[in-house]
């Protein structure tokens, strides 16, 4: 069995965005072909309602052929103790025997998966646009926000005019010459062609609608006050309706008000591979996070670790 710790995980995933996006695109097709299985993920709840641990089991067939489970904890107040908010362990199993083949003890898998899913959507969005002066706005500059900034530079740097950053906490420094710090979220909202929310917000604070003709990657899922969302002008792009239509997401709250149903949404597959015209609408991506993507990223890490032969062998 190969054990991958945090440092090794970072090494394995460095400069991996293109590889991961290619694998995610394959996985989207396998999902369409019903060659994957991912049960609805359960949430382990605690007396402190802001804490949770989620179990994410999945099987992915085809040439990838892997199964496993990610066990991810989110404890927001860890940040006050200088402990990272999210911690996770992923176990991969052999599809042939069910034997565990790898333990990945690192949140880097989740962080890279999240940024790569956004990169997959952004790749399609920018391919439909001739613009080379794209303004990216990122709200929330923790590990997820920072990785999105990194992904944007490495994949789309030649198309980016600037990246505007805002966090409720002070941002001490940025990582690129095109990055600029804003004093309020509205500063970047007004200017951004692509808006990315990467916060830990449990309650909405964005008293505005996704921008018409623009892309919003609502990674943190709960940031928009739905009273301001114009359903007629907004196209909701989702990864999985059953997953995202719960746990107080913007999608669930729109659904509860009978302003959105599954048939109103566009699935990832249809957006990536079917001809759908959304140019005159606000494209609003809400990714709850699919376990199939996690085990595929885990398999990528496992394969690279096996080649490097630096994984620790546990009998």
Q: What digits encode the pLDDT tens for the residues 196-254? A: 999 999 899 999 999 888 999 999 999 999 999 988 899 999 999 999 999 999 999 99
Q: What is the pLDDT of residue 278?
A: 85
Q: What is the pLDDT of residue 311?
A: 59
- How far is it, in rounded angstroms, from Cα 189 to Cα 184? 9
* Per-chain mean pLDDT for the chain: 95
Instruction: Categorize the per-residue pLDDT at 310 as very low, low, confident or very high, splitting at 50, 70 and 90.
Output: low
**Which residue is associated with the tokens 């944007």?**
152
Instruction: Categorize the per-residue pLDDT at 129 as very low, low, confident or very high, splitting at 50, 70 and 90.
Output: confident
Q: What is the pLDDT of residue 279?
A: 79
2-6, 269-273, 311-315: lowest mean pLDDT where?
Answer: 311-315
Determine the angle formed by the axes of helices 17-32 and 143-156, rounding to 10 degrees: 100
pLDDT digits (tens, 9 = 90+) for 54-83: 999 999 999 999 999 999 999 999 989 999
Determine the angle formed by the axes of helices 291-308 and 108-127, rounding to 10 degrees: 110
Task: Output the CA torsion sign for 54, 312, 27, 121.
Answer: positive
> Diameter of the chain by CA atoms?
57
Q: Which residues of 69-102 are buried (b: 16+ CB within 10 A; e: fewer)?
A: bbebbbbeeeeeeeeebbbbebbbbeeeeeeebb
pLDDT of 118 over the 60 cut: yes
pTM of the prediction?
0.96
pLDDT of 308 over the 90 cut: no
Q: What is the pLDDT of residue 313?
A: 66
pLDDT of 108 over the 80 cut: yes
Residue 44's nearest CA partner among 55, 34, 31 is 55
- How far is it, in rounded angstroms, from Cα 224 to Cα 222? 6
Question: Judging by DSSP bridges, how do beta strands 215-217 and 282-286 pair with one another?
Answer: parallel
pLDDT digits (tens, 9 = 90+) for 154-198: 999 999 999 999 999 999 989 899 999 999 999 999 999 999 999
pLDDT of 315 over the 70 cut: no
């Amino acid at each position: 069995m190969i054990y991958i710790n945090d440092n090794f995980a970072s090494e394995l995933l460095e400069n991996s965005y293109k590889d991961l996006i290619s694998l995610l695109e394959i996985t989207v097709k396998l999902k369409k072909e019903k060659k994957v299985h991912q049960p609805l993920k359960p949430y382990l709840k605690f007396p402190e309602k802001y804490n949770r641990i989620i179990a994410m089991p999945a099987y992915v067939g085809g040439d990838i052929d892997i199964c496993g489970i990610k066990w991810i904890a989110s404890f927001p107040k860890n940040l006050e103790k200088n402990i990272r908010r999210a911690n996770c362990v992923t176990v991969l199993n052999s599809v042939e025997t069910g034997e565990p083949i790898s333990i990945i003890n690192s949140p880097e898998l989740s962080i890279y998966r999240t940024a790569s899913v956004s990169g997959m959507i952004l790749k399609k969005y920018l391919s439909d646009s001739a613009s080379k002066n794209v303004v990216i706005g990122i709200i929330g500059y923790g590990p997820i926000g920072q990785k999105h900034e990194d992904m944007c530079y490495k994949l789309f740097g030649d198309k980016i005019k600037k990246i505007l950053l805002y966090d409720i906490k002070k941002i001490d420094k940025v990582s690129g010459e095109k990055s600029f710090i804003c004093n309020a979220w509205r500063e970047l909202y007004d200017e951004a062609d692509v808006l990315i929310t990467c916060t830990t917000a449990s309650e909405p604070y964005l008293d505005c609608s996704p921008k018409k003709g623009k892309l919003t990657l609502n990674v943190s899922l709960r940031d928009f006050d739905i009273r301001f969302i114009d359903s007629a002008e907004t196209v909701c792009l989702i990864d999985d309706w059953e997953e995202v239509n719960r746990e107080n997401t913007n999608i669930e709250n729109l659904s509860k008000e009978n302003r959105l149903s599954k048939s109103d949404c566009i699935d990832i597959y249809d957006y990536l591979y079917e001809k759908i015209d959304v140019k005159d609408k606000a494209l609003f991506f809400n990714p709850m996070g699919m376990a199939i993507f996690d085990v595929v990223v885990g398999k990528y890490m496992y394969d690279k670790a096996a080649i490097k032969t630096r994984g620790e062998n546990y009998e």
